[in-house]
Amino acid sequence: MSPTLGAAKQAEQLRQDGNTYFKKDRLGAAIDAYTEAITLCPNVPVYWTNRALCHRKRNEWTRVEEDCRRAIQLDHHSVKAHYMLGLALLQKKEYGEGVKELEKALDLGRGANPQGYMVEEIWQELAKAKYLEWEHESTKRSWELQTLKESCEVALKEKQNRDAPETEGFVDETTMSSLDQFEVLNRVFNKAAEDDTPTEVPDYMCCKITLDIFRDPVITPSGVTYERAVILDHLQKVGKFDPITRETLFPSQLVPNLAIKEAVRAYLEVHGWAYRMD
Amino acid sequence: MTSDSASSRKALSKIACNRLQKELVEWQVNPPAGFNHKATDNLKRWVIEVNGAPGTLYAGEMYQLQVDFPEHYPMEAPQVIFVPPAPLHPHIYSNGHICLDILYDSWSPAMTVSSVCISILSMLSSSTAKQRPADNDRYVKNCKNGRSPKETRWWFHDDKV
C-alpha cells in the first residue's frame, strides 16, 4: 500500500517540524514529530535516522539501534544509519560488530563526500574504539608476558644453581655465563613487547601535509601520496599543483593508493596505539 | 585592522594544531643545524634563534625569527619575520620582513618550519654583501602601522641570493 500524495506531503512537513524542534533541543517534541512522519510514511529512511539522532542525544541506545536497523533495511547505503548503529553497538560493548558498522559508514561516507564533516567524525569515533580495544588487549598481553618472564627467571636461576657445582673448576668458554643468559631472556621478552610499545609511525605511512598516518591515501601523477581530504583542500585553497614536486595537478588526477591503504591497515592491526588521535 | 591582528585572534584549526604538535616533536628529535627553538607553551608563535653559518658573512652572529601560524596552517603560509635588529642582507628589511618567495606566493603545505628555516639560512649564507634592500626606507615607512609582510605585493628580485 503506497501512501497517498497527501500523506507524503504531511510527513515531509512533520520532518521539518521535527528538525526545528531538534535544533531548539526540544528532543521529545522532535521524536513525536518524526514518529508521526514514520506512521504516515514508514518507508522513508531519513525519518528513522532523524529519530535515531534524537535517541542518541538522549543516550537511549537500544532505540538508536532499532531505528538504525530499520533505516538500513530501507537503504543499505545510509551513512548515518551505519554510523549510529556502530555507536550503539559499541555502547553495548559489541566491539567487533560496532567497528564493522563504523568502517562501513566510513567507506560509504568517503564515496559521497570525502571532505565532509561526517567522514572526520566517523573516523574519530572509529579510531577511539580501536584505540580502546588495543589498550584493553595490550594490557592483557603485557600482563601475560610479565608473569611468564618472572617464571622464566625463577626457573633459569634454579637451573643455574643446580648446574653450578658440576661445572665448578671446568670453565667452558662455549657455554653462556649465567649473566648473559638473563640478558638474552630479557632481550627475548623486550622483542615480544615491541609491537605494543608506542613509537613513531614510519614516514612512508604518513602524509607529507598532515604528518599523520594515512586514512584515505591518494597518489598524484608525480608519484607522491597524500591524505585525500587535505590534498583536495590544498587544490581548492592554495593552487593546482603537487605540493612537493610543484607539477600541475587537478583533483581528477588523484587516484586511490590501495597498496599504501592496505599497508596502513596491516600496520594498525599490529600497532593499535597508532590510532591515538591527539 | 591588519590581517596580522585579525589572524592572531583566531585559534588554530584542529588540523593546524595537530600538525604543529607533530612538527614540534620532530624538531625536538631532529632540529635543523644552526637553529634553536625557544620553548614556550604557545603553539601559535614560535621564536627561533638563528646562528650565522661558519665561513659566511654572518658567522658568529645570532638573530631571532618570529614565526606566527594562521588558523588554517599549513594551507596558508606562516608569517616569518626577523625580530629587529634584523641581519643586514639585500632581501631583509630593517623591520625584519623577509623577501623570500616561499613565504608568500610559492608557499606549499608540504613545507615545514624546519624547511623554511633552512631556506632562510641558505639565503643568508649565500649573501655576498651586507646591505639593506635598495627600497628599504620606503618599504619600512609603508609598513608603519604594523602591516604584515604577507600583505605586501612582493616581486622577487632574483633566485640567487
pLDDT digits (tens, 9 = 90+) for B101-148: 999 999 999 999 999 999 999 999 999 999 999 999 989 888 877 778
In angstroms and rounded to an integer, the radius of gyration of the C-alpha atoms of chain B is 15
Q: Which residues of B touch A (CB under 8 A)?
A: 15, 18-19, 22-23, 26, 72, 74-76, 107-110
pLDDT recorded at residue B5:
44
What is the Cα B116 distance to its own chain's centre? Answer: 7
Place of cell 635543523: B32
> B10 falls in which pLDDT band (50, 70, 90)?
confident
**Alpha helices of chain B — where are they, by DSSP H?**
3-9, 14-29, 113-125, 136-142
Tell me the shortest Cα–Cα distance from A155 to chain B, in angstroms: 41
Mean pLDDT of chain A: 92
pTM of the model: 0.82
Average pLDDT over residues A252-276: 95
**Model confidence at B76: pLDDT above 80:** yes
In 3D, which of A42, A71, A74 has the Cα closest to residue A85?
A: A71
Tell which CATH classification among 3.30.40.10, 3.40.50.300, 1.10.150.20, 3.40.50.450 matches the domain A203-275: 3.30.40.10
Element spanning B64, H or E: strand B62-68
Strand order in the sheet with A217-219: A225-227, A217-219, A255-256
- As given in the structure block, the three cell numbers for residue B50 are 638563528
- Omega into B87 within 30° of 0, i.e. cis? no
pLDDT recorded at residue B148:
83
pLDDT recorded at residue B14:
87
**Model confidence at B1: pLDDT above 50:** no
Nearest-CB residue to A212 (from B18, B74, B107): B18
- Establish if A212 touches chain B: CB-CB under 8 angstroms: yes
pLDDT recorded at residue B39:
78
Average pLDDT over residues A104-123: 88
Asked if A210's CB is within 8 angstroms of B19's CB, the reply is: yes
**Residue A72: CB partners within 8 Å, gap ≥ 6?**
A45, A78, A81, A82, A85
Average pLDDT over residues A174-182: 76
**Model confidence at A166: pLDDT above 90:** no
Strand order in the sheet with B35-38: B35-38, B45-51, B62-68, B79-83
β-strand A225-227 against A217-219: which pairing, if any? antiparallel
pLDDT recorded at residue B2:
41
**Model confidence at A120: pLDDT above 50:** yes
**Model confidence at B160: pLDDT above 60:** no
Lowest mean pLDDT among A53-62, B133-142, B146-155: B146-155
Based on the residue annotation, tell me whether B99 is a catalytic residue of this protein.
yes
**Model confidence at A66: pLDDT above 70:** yes
Tell me the shortest Cα–Cα distance from B22 to chain A, in angstroms: 7
Using an 8 Å CB-CB cutoff, list chain A residues near B19.
209-212
Asked if B15's CB is within 8 angstroms of A211's CB, the reply is: no
DSSP label of A87: H
pLDDT recorded at residue B46:
95
- As given in the structure block, the three cell numbers for residue A98 are 560496532
pLDDT recorded at residue B63:
96
Cα separation, A93 vs A61, whole angstroms: 12
* Closest Cα in chain B to A230: B75
**Model confidence at A133: pLDDT above 60:** yes
pLDDT recorded at residue B115:
96
Asked if A233's CB is within 8 angstroms of B18's CB, the reply is: no
> B55 falls in which pLDDT band (50, 70, 90)?
very high
- As given in the structure block, the three cell numbers for residue A197 are 610499545
Average pLDDT over residues A128-146: 94
What is the Cα A34 distance to its own chain's centre? Answer: 31
Asked if A211's CB is within 8 angstroms of B23's CB, the reply is: yes
pLDDT recorded at residue B40:
80
- Establish if A205 touches chain B: CB-CB under 8 angstroms: no
Task: Give per-residue pLDDT as tens, A10-30.
Answer: 999 999 999 999 999 999 999
Fold observed for domain A5-112 = 1.25.40
Asked if B108's CB is within 8 angstroms of A210's CB, the reply is: no
pLDDT recorded at residue B4:
46
> B7 falls in which pLDDT band (50, 70, 90)?
very low
Nearest-CB residue to A208 (from B72, B75, B110): B110
Nearest-CB residue to B75 (from A208, A233, A246): A233
Using an 8 Å CB-CB cutoff, list chain B residues near A199.
none
Q: Coil, helix or strand for B35?
A: strand
